[in-house]
């Protein structure tokens, strides 16, 4: 049934493409070493069954579908650009996979692990991936991904945001975005002193940044008002009603 639907979808797709831009089948057999390298696997990743055994090989079926998809995408590119075969840039397995069988952005990996297993597991996973793949183009290990996740989590999971921001600062101690995410999470936890210290550090790194200066002045002003506000003492408004179910009203002088 799935193969029938796939064949039908391919035929419908092909009908919308000019003849000169129709998918040109690649000699995929000759591309097997390149495919294995792009996925960071060996031949037995797809060819998992003993030859002639008739046992199912699900990854091989997925690979065939992906090859068909690649041919179709390349046909779409030629249609969109108006370029002929050999002139247009063509999609290759490595463009997405970049050395891993199941490609995902590092942000998705860290967030999924944080949500399902906790931030400590996510940190350990990030360190392992960085150790294995740093210097390759598989994942983005710049300061931006972790800073982005930390900023996202700062409003509703501040402890996780703080842990991820501090992890990022280990590798990039002058990451302004990580410091801003850290200060946001500290503010969320009512740690104004910590947030002020973090923003002051960010301002030392980038003294011309007006946004940081504005946040710092705003936070200091709020913190000053909070300290100078007189303590409010409760005053009980006693009424004539004296029932077990009566609620004593409390206001502040």
Distance (Å, rounded) from C-alpha 122 to C-alpha 115?
9
* CA atoms lying within 13 Å on the CB side of residue 128: 8
Q: 149 or 54: which carries more pLDDT confidence?
A: 149
Range of 4-18, 139-153, 232-246 with top mean pLDDT: 139-153
pTM: 0.74
At 29 the pLDDT is: 81
What CATH class does 106-228 carry? Answer: mainly alpha
Domain ranges (residues) in the chain = 2-97, 106-228
Distance (Å, rounded) from C-alpha 182 to C-alpha 79?
47
Q: What is the mean pLDDT of residues 68-86?
A: 91
Averaged pLDDT score across all residues of the chain: 84
Q: 160 or 252: which carries more pLDDT confidence?
A: 160
Provide the b/e sequence for 69-101 (b: ≥16 CB within 10 Å): ebbbebbbebbeeeeeeeebebbebeeebbbbe
Which runs of E-coded beta strand occur in 29-123?
none
Distance (Å, rounded) from C-alpha 182 to C-alpha 56?
50
For every residue of 161-224, DSSP letters joined together read HHHHHHHHHHH-TT-HHHHHHHHHHHHHTT-HHHHHHHHHHHHHH-TT-HHHHHHHHHHHHHHH
pLDDT digits (tens, 9 = 90+) for 182-236: 999 999 999 999 999 999 999 999 999 999 999 999 998 887 777 776 555 444 4
Q: How confident is the model at residue 18 (pLDDT cuts 50, 70, 90)?
A: low
Q: What is the mean pLDDT of residues 61-69?
A: 91
Distance (Å, rounded) from C-alpha 17 to C-alpha 75?
8
Provide the b/e sequence for 201-239 (b: ≥16 CB within 10 Å): bbbeeeeeeeebeebbeebeeeeeeeeeeeeeeeeeeee
Out of 36-45, 52-61, 138-147, 240-249, least confident range: 240-249
pLDDT digits (tens, 9 = 90+) for 113-134: 999 999 999 999 999 999 999 9
């Amino acid at each position: 049934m799935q193969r029938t639907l796939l064949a039908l979808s391919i035929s419908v797709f092909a009908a919308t493409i000019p003849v000169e831009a129709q998918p040109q089948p690649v000699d995929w057999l000759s591309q097997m070493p390149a495919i294995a390298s792009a996925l960071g696997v060996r031949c037995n990743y797809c060819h998992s069954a003993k030859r002639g055994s008739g046992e199912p090989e699900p990854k091989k079926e997925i690979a065939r579908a992906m090859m068909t998809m690649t041919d179709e995408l390349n046909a779409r590119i030629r249609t969109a650009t108006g370029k002929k075969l050999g002139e247009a840039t063509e999609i290759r397995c490595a463009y997405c996979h970049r050395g891993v069988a199941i490609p995902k952005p590092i942000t998705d990996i860290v967030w999924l692990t944080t949500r399902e297993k906790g931030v400590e597991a996510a940190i350990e996973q990030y360190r392992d991936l960085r150790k294995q793949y740093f210097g390759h183009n598989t994942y983005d290990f710049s300061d931006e991904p972790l800073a982005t996740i930390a900023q996202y989590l700062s409003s509703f999971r501040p402890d996780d945001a703080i842990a991820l921001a501090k992890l990022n600062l280990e590798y990039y101690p002058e990451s302004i975005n990580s410091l801003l995410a850290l200060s946001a999470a500290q503010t969320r936890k009512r740690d104004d002193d910590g947030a002020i210290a973090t923003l002051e550090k960010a301002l030392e790194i980038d003294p011309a940044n007006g946004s940081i200066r504005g946040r710092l002045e705003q936070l200091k002003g709020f913190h000053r008002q909070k300290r100078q506000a007189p303590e409010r003492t409760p005053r009980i408004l006693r009424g004539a009603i004296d029932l077990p179910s009566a609620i004593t009203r409390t206001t502040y002088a």
